[in-house]
Amino acid sequence: MTIDRQAVERQAIVSGIGRSATGRRLNRPALDLTLDACLAAIADAGLTPRDIDGLTSWPDQAVPFGFSGPRVSDLHSLLRLDLSWILGCGDGANVTGILGIAAHAVATGLARHVLVYRTVTESTAQGTGRRPAVMSQMPAPWRTTYGVGSPAQLAALWARHHFDRYGTTREQLAWVALNDRRNAADNPDAIFRDPMTLDDYLTTRMISNPLCLLDCDVPADGAFAFVISHADHRHDTERPVFFEAVGGGRPMTSSWEFWPDLDVMAAMKAADQLWSRTTLRPTDVDLAYLYDGFSIFVLYWLEALGFCARGESGPFIEGGTRIARDGDLPLNTSGGQLSEGRYLGFGHAYEAFLQLRNQAGPRQVTDTQIALVTGGGGPLAQAFLFTNDR
Amino acid sequence: MPLVDDGSRDFWRGGADGRLLIRACAACHRLFHPPGPVCPHCYSRSVTSRAVSGRATVASYTVTHRGWVPGYEPPYVVARVVLAEQPDLHLLTNVVGCDPEAVHTGMEVEVIFEQRTDVFVPLFQPVA
């Protein structure tokens, strides 16, 4: 494969970032949160809504239980944006994929300033009781006939495979959750900030063996928005963050339940594409934001991206030294989805941008230039490299 | 309940005759699952169903401790099993007929059928 050392996404920057109030049971309309985040991001970019000429989001459809925010057409009409490019995204833009789609829109000249947003109200929708998993509401006879109503059960099959094939242990996997919680202590916006010990983890109730409650991310409310601009706007931006490379892909099948090889996730393909579009190598990465919808995803991402050899992600994170904020590979520094909340990759991206802008306050990691952000697990995967150094 | 359609009817109803029916390609003779109208190996549109032995090996499993689907009371075992006929042919299923904690990767299992109204759901139990 030809290495493209000038990937088109290098012509895109993150010029503005915005975040609404976030947390548990905010009881605020999704549109209200979305407006807060979007207007904040536009102002942060030094722009006004009149400057925004591109708009995208995912999923651009009504999904039950607070999983989706307002449609792009509704937001467009409310703000009366003068758009040259609009895209309400479906499959393929899942999780953080829309960041790459927006970058390519500005890089190819279809728009100059694209507003990207992601809104969830899953916590308020959940109320005070349990709710079914979103997955259980989809017509899926191959799953529901066998009592599979949550992606936790399918993620657990990958976890069991990793445990049985490589000798990975719960004491090792625990460090995804323990590291997230350690970082959340310094993030006032995180949902769970109380200290957590290994013993706490090991004694927390099982959800779907070997995954316990603390291996599963936390339903949350909140909106995040970013302005993605053409790189020639960088001199008009106080703290530009540059796209370095994007990666994605989906091998074999789109099905979680019939994924043919539990030794891999789509992450492997996304990582290969990412590294093919840059001269950077894993050792250049200062900060890693690896998707932790379930803890086991992080182990697969670590191996896919080449931070460790296949099967060695358990020992790699065990003890939590290497992945601490003062370690070799600071990981999920905002607390991740296990402690900060499930913002479907956008919490990770927001934190990566904060860090690269040197605005992360008490959890700022010093001397950071390169951040790697991923989204998805199982059949879904995107990966991004961002830099403040160009 | 399973949605029985033209593609999946054999899978969900084969158990009426005690047979586990899997999609097979009439051209290259390989099996594939879930059933579909085209062979994913050679892309032939000539597909049929073939009865297999029902013997399988547990490739991975999870003991579910939380109820998500009505009618399924935890704990129960969700497993991926590989059918004896072809190493890349696996089903998502339940392992029943034993203590959930006794299920393990590599366990030899065999199909049984559980009738639910007009369908016969293939499940697996440890080989006696």
Contact at 8 Å (CB) between A297 and A265?
yes
Whether B71 maps to a domain, the answer reads yes
pLDDT of residue A302: 98
CA gap B80, A88 in Å, rounded: 36
Locate A389 and state its tokens: 């150094």
> What pLDDT digit, counting tens, does each position of A175-215 carry?
999 999 999 999 999 999 999 999 999 999 999 999 999 99
Number of domains in chain B: 1
Q: Buried b / exposed e across A265-274, counting CB within 10 Å, b at 16+?
A: bbbbbbbbbb
Instruction: With CA atoms as reference, report the closest residue to A116 among A5, A6, A243.
Output: A243
Residue to test with chain A: of B11, B38, B69, B109, most A Cβ within 10 A: B69
Domains of chain A, with CATH numbers? 8-127+217-387 (3.40.47.10)
Whether B2 maps to a domain, the answer reads no
Enumerate residue ranges in chain A where pLDDT < 50.
1
pLDDT of residue A131: 65
pLDDT of residue A138: 61
> What pLDDT digit, counting tens, does each position of B2-16 carry?
678 888 999 999 999
pLDDT of residue A133: 63
User: Tell me, what DSSP letter sits at residue A292?
Assistant: -
| CB-based contact A161 B59, cutoff 8 Å | yes
Residue of chain B nearest A131, judged by CA positions: B68
pLDDT of residue A137: 58
Whether B3 maps to a domain, the answer reads no
Q: Buried b / exposed e across B23-44, counting CB within 10 Å, b at 16+?
A: bbbeeeebbbbbbeeebeeeee
What's the domain range around B72?
9-126
Whether B4 maps to a domain, the answer reads no
CA gap B24, A41 in Å, rounded: 54
pLDDT of residue A47: 97
**Candidates A142, A144, A208; nearest CB to B65:** A208
Contact at 8 Å (CB) between A375 and A260?
no
Whether B72 maps to a domain, the answer reads yes
User: Which residues, 6+ apart, have CB-to-CB distance to B29 below 8 Å?
Assistant: none
The helix (run of H) or strand (run of E) holding residue A220 is none
Instruction: With CA atoms as reference, report the closest residue to B25 among B48, B54, B51, B1.
Output: B48
Mutual angle of helices A267-276 and A295-304, in 10-degree steps: 40
Instruction: State the pLDDT confidence band at B70, using cuts at 50, 70 and 90.
Output: confident
* Residues of A in Cβ contact (< 8 Å) with B114: none
Whether B68 maps to a domain, the answer reads yes
| CB-based contact B61 A160, cutoff 8 Å | yes
Residue of chain A nearest B121, judged by CA positions: A145
**What interface predicted TM-score (ipTM) does this complex get?**
0.97
pLDDT of residue B78: 98
| CB-based contact B76 A147, cutoff 8 Å | yes
The answer, for B112 touching chain A at a CB cutoff of 8 Å, is no
The helix (run of H) or strand (run of E) holding residue A208 is strand A206-208
> What pLDDT digit, counting tens, does each position of A55-94 carry?
999 999 998 899 999 999 999 999 999 999 999 999 888 8
Whether B27 maps to a domain, the answer reads yes
Residue B97 carries which side chain, given as an amino acid letter? G
Residue B47 has pLDDT above 90, yes or no: yes
